[in-house]
Structure 1
Amino acid sequence: MEKIRTLLDRFVQAFSCLLFVIMVVVATWQVVSRYVFNSPSTISEAFLRLSLVWLSMMAIAYVAGRREHVSLTLLTGNLSGAWKRFFDIFIELLFIAFAGFVMIYGGAQATSNTMAQVYPMLNVPKGIIYLSLPVSGAIIVVYCLMNCFKLYSDCQYYTRRQVS
């Protein structure tokens, strides 16, 4: 399980870092072309908009995998032991439900509905933007399932330790 998490972490990190570096280069080119050559690039702004959506969605997936997302700490902050683990697993299951229904299902619908439309500046299908939803949603589901298994196995470990 840890090997899968490590591979997924490295993939998301590498993709996000590479995309961020490309965005910095493209934004720098946008500034140089506008102020030095007095001929602004029209493609760069559209590319940055598309890239920012992808970068944001991948970052959301990574943060969900690390369990550093915003969660219901008002309830779980004062709990300990089995109740805390129960609510932690419940929150992960809520994330799975959200990612499954809204991001994967809804994102797949939005992607398929907009693949025929062309993003005029880049001359690519608009569905490419919406494709970030099901991709990041699938990554979130995988991460959350791994988090649930880890929380459950930790709970089993502590329960066995307390009994013996």
Structure 2
Amino acid sequence: METMRTLLDRSMQLLCCLLFITMVGVASWQVIARYILNDPSTVSEAFLRFSLVWLSMLAIAYVAGRREHVSLTLLTDKLTGAWKSAFEMSIEILFIGFSAFVLLYGGAQATANSMSQVYPMLDIPKGFLYLSLPLSGAIIITYSLINCVSIYRGCLRTRRLES
């Protein structure tokens, strides 16, 4: 399980970094084209808007999977042992439910509905923009399942140490 998490982590880090570096390059070109060449690029602005959605969704999936998202730990800090594990497991199950229903199902519907529409500046189907939703949903579900296994194994270790 840890090798799968490491592989997923490295893939997400690489993808997000490459996308961010590309966005910095395109934004730099936009500034040069607009202020030095006096010929602003409309494609770069559309690409940046498109890329920002993708980068945001992929980064959200990565951060949620690493359990480094913003959270209220008031309750979990007071819990110990099996209660803490059960609470953490229920949070992961909520993540799976939200990701499956909203991101996977809703994102797939939005993608399918907008594939026939064309993103005017980039001349690609708008569905590619919405494709970031089901993809990030699938990544969050994968991470959450890995987290559930880790929580379960941690709970088993704790029980063995107590007995």
Q: State the TM bucket, normalised to the shorter chain.
A: over 0.9
Indicate the residue corresponding to 1:97 in structure 2: 97
The separation in 1 between residues aligned to 2:100 and 2:32, in whole angstroms, is 42
Say what the alpha-carbon RMSD is for the aligned residues.
0.8
Indicate the residue corresponding to 2:56 in structure 1: 56
Q: How far did 1:161 drift? A: 1.1
- Alignment pair present for 1:146 and 2:154: no
The separation in 2 between residues aligned to 1:141 and 1:6, in whole angstroms, is 16
DSSP-derived class of the 1:39 partner: coil
DSSP-derived class of the 1:77 partner: helix
| Structure 1: unaligned runs, 5 residues or longer | none
Indicate the residue corresponding to 1:31 in structure 2: 31
- Alignment pair present for 1:76 and 2:80: no
Indicate the residue corresponding to 1:123 in structure 2: 123
Deviation string for 1:118-152 (max 9, x for gaps)? Answer: 00000000001100000010000000000000001
Q: How far did 1:72 drift? A: 4.0
DSSP-derived class of the 2:10 partner: helix
C-alpha contact (below 8 Å) 1:71/1:91 kept by paired residues: no
Indicate the residue corresponding to 1:109 in structure 2: 109
Q: How far did 1:71 drift? A: 3.0
Q: How far did 1:18 drift? A: 0.3
The separation in 2 between residues aligned to 1:158 and 1:77, in whole angstroms, is 17
Q: How far did 1:5 drift? A: 0.7
| Structure 2: unaligned runs, 5 residues or longer | none
The separation in 2 between residues aligned to 1:32 and 1:72, in whole angstroms, is 44
Give the fraction of aligned pairs with identical amino acids, expressed as a percent.
Answer: 65
TM-score (norm 1): 0.97
Indicate the residue corresponding to 2:42 in structure 1: 42
C-alpha contact (below 8 Å) 1:61/1:140 kept by paired residues: yes
Q: How far did 1:80 drift? A: 1.3
The residue identity in structure 1 corresponding to 2:105 is Y
The separation in 1 between residues aligned to 2:81 and 2:157, in whole angstroms, is 12
TM-score (norm 2): 0.98
